[in-house]
Structure 1
């Protein structure tokens, strides 16, 4: 069974716009997924990236146009300037880490629910109520928001180190066992073709 390490930030608009494409591919190709939320700003700093707010105005303007085009193309609601962005991604990331460890719910739905809360619903994903709602909606115990904070912090930091070591530098980033790397929502088709043995 192929395995995918999925590195992402719960603050990333492009991760939100990827929707549940990864989960659909994993189901189709009988692949497993390890969800590895991380600190995207720290990843940028470690791998030569530039935070969006520090990019040249032309790059910022293009990014905004691209986000809106993609959201319309995929018929996904999008707030270009969410009320709570940027915010602290740690609480939502810790909840994902705790949910993955606990099991019993739909992890893909949890991740997408958190991203949708930020980018489509103008909710603060650092707020306990938002995280609890997302956990519950995805079939997890909302009390996971309160448990395993130390373990979550340790895993969150470890995910960053692992991402750097494996060559990840953005979000979403998919690495298949064997070392094939795919960066971005727009590389999901290539990931699918790779798992099918076609590229």
Structure 2
């Protein structure tokens, strides 16, 4: 069985646009996914990237054209300038980490947080929003409180693991068995083909 490490940022529009395609691919090939939310801005800092606020205007202008193109192509709603972006990624990431330890549909939970930012104008750093998204996706809302210590430790460890694995952005997918790396939601077809060949 192949194992995919999925490095993600809960405020990334590109992670949002991935939708549930990773989960569909994994199900098709019997692969297992480990969700590894991390501080995406620190990942940029550690690996030579540039935070969005510091990028050249031409790069941001292109981003503002490309995101709606992809949203239209994938038939997904997208607010290019969400009311709550950027926000602290840590609380929603801790919730995902706690939910993964508890067991359940973590993919749907991840998408719930991303959709909240990019389509629903919700603040995913707010405790009430986090509890609501947990509950709406079949998890105990109290995970927002009980998983804080382990979540904080794992969140930091995920960043270190991402750097060691060669990740430098999100979404970033690493197939453990082959060390094949796929950066971006537009590389999911390549991940699909790779798993099919194993």
TM-score in terms of structure 1 length: 0.97
How many angstroms apart in 1 are the aligned matches of 2:119 and 2:129?
Answer: 13
Helix, strand or coil: the match of 2:182? strand
Helix, strand or coil: the match of 1:139? coil
How many angstroms apart in 2 are the aligned matches of 1:107 and 1:43?
Answer: 22
Helix, strand or coil: the match of 1:7? strand
Moved over 3 A (4+): none
Counterpart for residue 185 of structure 2: 185
Counterpart for residue 171 of structure 2: 172
Cα deviation for residue 10 of structure 1 reads 0.2
Written as runs of structure 1 = structure 2, the 5 A alignment for 1:59-138 is 59-103=59-103, 105-138=104-137
Cα deviation for residue 158 of structure 1 reads 0.1
Q: Deviations over 1:16-58 (max 9, x none)?
A: 0000010000000000000000000100000000011111101
Structure 2 gaps, min length 5: none
Cα deviation for residue 185 of structure 1 reads 0.2
Cα deviation for residue 150 of structure 1 reads 1.0
| Number of aligned positions between the proteins | 197
Structure 1 gaps, min length 5: none
Deviates more, 1:30-39 or 1:142-151: 142-151
Cα deviation for residue 187 of structure 1 reads 0.4
Counterpart for residue 29 of structure 1: 29
